[in-house]
Structure 1
């Protein structure tokens, strides 16, 4: 990975912040020092700094993907025409057990690099492929090798009951997550009350509390609990460190329970529409006050970039009950909203001085972005694509420059991914 410049100045860009509201500042500099935002303003001093020319570019907080099964990058487009049942049977029932540790590493590295290439600087990796301890080690190692900021959600494979072993989580926590300011942090990603008996759920919640880590769970009217949030409340398990994923079938009163508990929500509008999770819920979530972020979910079925995801969010909001969302609302969900959903808004998600310099620079001199100055938020949400991503920074370190990833082992990563694709195709 490329070294982090001690001082870096982004000169003369169109700076777009998203907190507390979307604001646009043309011809503005951003000064970064030791990986943090030191100043945002006009004609900042460049003494001792490496200078990047940001003219003709939009400077944004890095995008935050609040729910993605990153390991599935090597299974791209294998379930485009599948409903949820087919996806579960084919991807989790058949292909997940065929994943060797080297396949998990290849998938996670490829998936994390795909995120960075598209300006996603933080991802919540819901990794329910831990058939053995080596799978978890491979997944975490790949996230770190990619240079992305990540919340690694340790999950048990849903169709492999023998893999459920809390000792694996404790050991991984002790060995791989000792740093206080580690860009890759740990969460627990268990089945949750929709899909597991409440006694098992309570054990998982106690484990997360013991290890002092957050939770991420899929939630909806599942085969075990039709009212999963109420089931958690009855056991005293609602807490502010739980990220709930999907929840299309949850009634408004259960969404309100999440909001009242301080819990947060990740929605994946493209996947929820494609796989039939239920009616779009983005407007209902907003109305109940739940902090909500966006998630790609699976590239087996949908694109892996935030631009496609923001458009899906904007379009599905037009079909949902409640007041419609606008482009600026969606852009906030993709940045500061996602950061808040992951409990990271004190560190990332906006351009506030003192925050980590996780940034994305989009070119406005491309044919699809000329005229973006009419409505910057509208252009980013409705017109931009990954090809417009010129530069990406994570904690001030440049991971993409002039349209190209800077990862030193990119050819090897692609070759390893192709080998895993071939192995998994033979297992399909």
Structure 2
């Protein structure tokens, strides 16, 4: 049973409906959920009081798109483009991964998230080369303590019957347990990557199993984006809960159609710019009414913390030609990194804001560092000034996974040793 906690006298930032700062306020956590927010809350007799004076208390970040298994190939491909990434990472390095490599990479990647204040993760796991890889992936997510959407992407080849059978096995094994921090989605290759037959099988299977879909769509050029969306429409799949990853090349009208169908977007601004995928659709998607989350995507070519991702989103959007993005604010970025990311993950009723009843996925940031001290706007301080050094305490479901700047419950040196061995094998096999 999780402890009762009272985070006392912090600068509290809620994110829904808009980022709002509550000075000298408290957050009460009971049974792993947010019970109350406000100044001067009475402490229950059994509560542990955490002094948050001089700290920022806010919802944990949501990484809405990440290939978590890639922690062992960090910075292996800087200065690349998307074709080079596909050839090197997916064509050469991924097939070398053993189940133990998947476990080490996924656990290290998930702990990296927690260490930097990301409490919820959409793990787009296209390393499912066999059942052993899948089981290792899920075991690592569970061991980490993060709230995760396991985006299962079948990697066993083109046999659609085998795709269906293995996806159903995974669903039975990992979606039938009592509600917890791990849920499942269909990580679909989709019509722009895998073609019509597999895409139909993926969406229909997701519908039969009651799974949302997350797919790389809209990031492969204007013609491909238009064809992919038309394919979903033609086959009656547009209304199925779908998260469109990248979405760079959708027109304004297409984005409005996605919004009208209930679809969401995940933007990975650093990677989209670095790999020359096209201008991130951050402002255009949000202007069209699409709930849009942020993701780190791959640490093979970019940073793995939300601070770096938020700053990339901010500067790339505000730097659009002709001043088109100058209406984009730090508050917009913070919303994308929290509640809109939760919407993209299908978890907006669970996390992403401080609404009473939601899971207590919380982040406490220090402000007594040279990079964050004397910040006049707390929201801007989080987006533009803070970094991973400011992350003091992280709660997932009311349970402290990081306290006093230190991860809890994991032998990090031993994990780093396993990761180093895995990285050497994968890179030189």
TM norm. shorter chain > 0.5: yes
Residue aligned with 1:207, SS: helix
- Which residue is equivalent to 1:279? 279
Residue aligned with 1:19, SS: coil
Checking the alignment, whether the CA contact within 8 Å between 1:243 and 1:341 is kept in structure 2 is yes
- Which residue is equivalent to 2:398? 396
The 2-side partners of 1:409 and 1:212 are apart by 37
Moved more, 69-78 or 180-189: 180-189
Give the one of 199, 205, 208 matched to 2:206. 208
Residue aligned with 1:31, SS: strand
Checking the alignment, whether the CA contact within 8 Å between 1:208 and 1:215 is kept in structure 2 is yes
The 1-side partners of 2:225 and 2:347 are apart by 31
- Which residue is equivalent to 1:246? 246
| CA positional deviation for 1:216 | 0.4
Checking the alignment, whether the CA contact within 8 Å between 1:280 and 1:320 is kept in structure 2 is no
Q: 1:181 to 1:221 in 2, by over 3 A?
A: closer
- Which residue is equivalent to 1:176? 174
**Within the alignment, does 1:35 sit opposite 2:32 as a pair?**
yes
Checking the alignment, whether the CA contact within 8 Å between 2:217 and 2:225 is kept in structure 1 is no
Residue aligned with 2:338, SS: helix
Mind listing any 5+ residue stretches in structure 1 that lack a counterpart? none
Checking the alignment, whether the CA contact within 8 Å between 1:64 and 1:349 is kept in structure 2 is yes
Mind listing any 5+ residue stretches in structure 2 that lack a counterpart? none
Residue aligned with 1:167, SS: helix
Checking the alignment, whether the CA contact within 8 Å between 2:130 and 2:155 is kept in structure 1 is no
**TM, length-normalised to structure 1:** 0.95
**Within the alignment, does 1:141 sit opposite 2:144 as a pair?**
no
Checking the alignment, whether the CA contact within 8 Å between 2:219 and 2:246 is kept in structure 1 is no
- Which residue is equivalent to 1:80? 78
- Which residue is equivalent to 1:362? 365
- Which residue is equivalent to 1:425? 427
| CA positional deviation for 1:221 | 6.0
What are the within-5 Å matches in structure 2 for residues 94-109 of structure 1? 94-109=92-107
| CA positional deviation for 1:286 | 1.4
The 1-side partners of 2:190 and 2:373 are apart by 46
Q: 1:371 to 1:190 in 2, by over 3 A?
A: same
The 2-side partners of 1:282 and 1:190 are apart by 22
The 1-side partners of 2:302 and 2:72 are apart by 13
Q: 1:294 to 1:178 in 2, by over 3 A?
A: same
**TM, length-normalised to structure 2:** 0.95
The 2-side partners of 1:108 and 1:280 are apart by 26
Residue aligned with 1:129, SS: strand
What are the within-5 Å matches in structure 2 for residues 235-384 of structure 1? 235-320=235-320, 322-324=324-326, 325-372=328-375, 374-384=376-386
